[in-house]
Structure 1
């Protein structure tokens, strides 16, 4: 594929260089149509399953081909890069806007796993475009350049730089799609480089500009034909890449455009540049979005840490420390007269060890999770269920009829595990405290624990005992 691309470009570049002006326009128009054909072929063969981004790219290519046919002297007449603000520039800007839509649509799946990385990449691209404009493009624009033309050309440079940064980032996070992404990155780089070349050759030959553009079209045409092209829009499953550039480096990049504006203000030797206002309009929303993402990530991390601190990792129930806190809160409410009674039930599973021995620890985990789910379903909204550790559970009831009998029944129901169906039982000990009886948390737990061991000591099928 790489060799074929080089051979084809060598042929069209040579043909364009030696052809008559009229034939050059035909060659250039045919080359612009090549990616349209390859994209439609790949879509027709259902090679590209996520059709939206590729169809948007086809629409953008159609605008470019239309502009080439309607204004064949756009490149030969040195209008490309002249920033004249003409109808042709508007058509080409519309085409690049469609490419931006295509890229944004393609990024939506990657953005779910790496939103911060893509925003950082776009910010780096936008920040790099400022010096590029100020040093290599803006000072060399001719007298025919208009304010509208400058804004359109600058917007084109900024968008291309941002897209280039995002494509590079996707290449980092989606190694399986680096082939087509490499071609797309090369296309964006060539187009960006051609903006510079067109400005510097405004009074010379336009052949180089046309040849670079034709190479960009051909590299764009190759991307959808590669076997890994679907990976551009559909990232492979796997852990998200969380490596981000240092904040100091990102901050230095964000200072680039304001530094340029400050130098211009100090020198005061020319008109103010449009780089700062235009780039700021693009950079500020991205920075705000990045800060919002960081805030959301921090809030999620805090919620996760709080949940992990209070809950058992396997079952999702309250852990030992938090269920003890809930018992203390219930006993305090009992002392204040806010509750009529508090009942504590300690549950120790019977027959759990044979399940682990015969079916393995995965089956044991399923049993524990099932027990946790069943216990949670039978308690009231003001009650609490916790796991003390191993196969020991605790139910805290803030009033109401104790569910000791119900626990014994529901835990005997069969449980499906890998390899078969198992049945377990439970020894349940209950203890109840009332206002004024002098009970505290330690005594309540001790009474429930004694009741549970009394049940376990019975030779017959265990039945719940209440103390």
Structure 2
């Protein structure tokens, strides 16, 4: 089976969903009670079929999240088949803790596993944003419960039923927050994400409607639930569905919510607790301790992430302050500090001698002129790597700027090191567009304990020696007699 490409139009899916939704909801409203169960069961099988078709055709490349979601949907369908009067009998809004409630909670847990699996790739790029979104979702569950669900639960509600209903609510709001965040950072997947978000919102509305109309008609509850199933079925059918699990290359550009909004969200549950304390005629709700226990670890995770990000930023800034951006060698400021440090160690008797090598590349400008500055950058990086390989771990290599490098040797061996560096630099270097060869003029200056050398004099002697080497190389050969 061939599936439409990602560039195919999505309007056939939108139109098909609209027609199917109107048909199913109308058929349910007009059908006899016995036939309503058939209509509802048929609607629950639609997403299972579309998920399996999309998976079997290879349309969904990342199979694990969609398989987990399909398993959750199959679990819901099984519950509908085993307990067909669950919706018509208003058991959904009673929080009875029945086997059907357990099946529904398990199904939503499987769906959460699928969403979490889909989020894992986005999490590498935007972990803080997803944690913030989950926090907003979890904090939103408190007001929904306190204002719409908790006060309207009937006397038949059991602690297990309330716990399962609350768990459903927390899972759905947390998933909704994460889906919204992905929609912000993954514009190429917004169409299927919009359907997934709409399915979650419709499920939340279904929960609230079931509680508010528990003593009335169940038609609205069933219709909202069927619409949730159908919108969920449309997600994997869209041509852009694979993009849900394939984040765009590069870093996300979405901003994090201001800390004030996060603080306001975290204050939701304590504010509800204060309201409950003032309303002495109402018993304390289970939502506050449960949701708080869920929010606290998420906040701790967010703080840990911020701490690790700050430590990584500090390490990056420290490296940038001491190293050349192009070559990774010490920059001018740091290598000068290394020279001062070596001179102090020399005067203290830690070294027998130190030697400074100033290296200026020969033939570098023609590389830039002929192959471009990108090739010049490649040459500088290759030279930096060869200089590093030519010295020992106790020595230091830096870039002064342009095509000038400096090598600080602690201990004897300046002559062999200069010859080794000259030979390494002279080896061919592959650049975009060809292969080049360059040379190097190296000037050396050595200091011994007690000779009174300082950094300026050492650099000046090495610089003079380097220009002497350049002058000898540029002098014309003697005429043959």
- Asked if TM exceeds 0.5, the reply is yes
Change (3 A) 1:242 1:329: farther
Instruction: Report the Cα offset of residue 107 of structure 1.
Output: 0.4
| 2:364 corresponds to | 352
Larger mean Cα displacement after TM superposition, 133-142 or 12-21: 12-21
| 1:340 corresponds to | 352
1:448 and 2:462 are equivalent in the alignment: yes
1:195 and 2:207 are equivalent in the alignment: yes
Q: SS in structure 1 opposite 2:473?
A: coil
Any runs of at least 4 consecutive aligned residues in structure 1 with deviations exceeding 4 A, and if so which?
none
Q: SS in structure 2 opposite 1:225?
A: coil
Instruction: Report the Cα offset of residue 152 of structure 1.
Output: 0.9
1:81 and 1:195 in contact (8 A); partners too: yes
Instruction: Report the Cα offset of residue 461 of structure 1.
Output: 9.2
List per-residue Cα deviations over 1:392-434 (Å, max 9, x = no partner). 0000111141210001101000001111111000000111111
Which whole-Å CA distance do the structure 2 matches of 1:232 and 1:120 have between them? 19
List per-residue Cα deviations over 1:184-243 (Å, max 9, x = no partner). 010000001111000011001111111111111000000001111011111121331240
Instruction: Report the Cα offset of residue 6 of structure 1.
Output: 1.5
List per-residue Cα deviations over 1:44-103 (Å, max 9, x = no partner). 111100001000001101110010011111101110121111111111110010011011
1:114 and 1:241 in contact (8 A); partners too: no
Among 404, 412, 432, the residue aligned to 1:418: 432
| 1:225 corresponds to | 237
1:156 and 2:156 are equivalent in the alignment: no
1:86 and 2:69 are equivalent in the alignment: no
| 1:44 corresponds to | 56
Which whole-Å CA distance do the structure 2 matches of 1:9 and 1:162 have between them? 26
| 2:402 corresponds to | 390
Which whole-Å CA distance do the structure 2 matches of 1:447 and 1:414 have between them? 30
After TM superposition, the structure 1 = structure 2 runs for residues 12-91 of structure 1, keeping only pairs within 5 Å, are 12-91=24-103
Instruction: Report the Cα offset of residue 266 of structure 1.
Output: 2.5
| 1:367 corresponds to | 379
Which whole-Å CA distance do the structure 2 matches of 1:406 and 1:176 have between them? 54
Q: SS in structure 2 opposite 1:134?
A: helix
1:431 and 2:442 are equivalent in the alignment: no
1:311 and 1:319 in contact (8 A); partners too: yes
Which whole-Å CA distance do the structure 2 matches of 1:459 and 1:381 have between them? 31
Q: SS in structure 2 opposite 1:339?
A: coil
Q: SS in structure 2 opposite 1:211?
A: helix
Q: SS in structure 1 opposite 2:398?
A: strand
| 2:318 corresponds to | 306
Q: SS in structure 2 opposite 1:226?
A: coil
Which whole-Å CA distance do the structure 2 matches of 1:439 and 1:375 have between them? 25
| 2:193 corresponds to | 181
Q: SS in structure 1 opposite 2:320?
A: helix
List per-residue Cα deviations over 1:91-121 (Å, max 9, x = no partner). 1110010011011111001111111111111
Q: SS in structure 2 opposite 1:435?
A: coil
- CA RMSD, aligned part only? 1.2
Among 239, 249, 253, the residue aligned to 1:237: 249
Q: SS in structure 2 opposite 1:459?
A: helix
Which whole-Å CA distance do the structure 2 matches of 1:170 and 1:459 have between them? 62
Which whole-Å CA distance do the structure 2 matches of 1:111 and 1:267 have between them? 42
Change (3 A) 1:266 1:323: same
Larger mean Cα displacement after TM superposition, 393-402 or 359-368: 393-402
Among 252, 275, 278, the residue aligned to 1:266: 278
Among 179, 198, 219, the residue aligned to 1:207: 219
List per-residue Cα deviations over 1:335-394 (Å, max 9, x = no partner). 111111111100000000010011110000000000000001111011110000000000
| 1:465 corresponds to | none
Which whole-Å CA distance do the structure 2 matches of 1:448 and 1:13 have between them? 88
Which whole-Å CA distance do the structure 2 matches of 1:208 and 1:304 have between them? 57
- Count of aligned positions: 462
- For structure 1, the 5+ residue unaligned runs are 463-467
Instruction: Report the Cα offset of residue 18 of structure 1.
Output: 1.9
Q: TM-score, normalised by structure 1?
A: 0.97
| 2:301 corresponds to | 289
Which whole-Å CA distance do the structure 2 matches of 1:459 and 1:71 have between them? 95
| 2:3 corresponds to | none
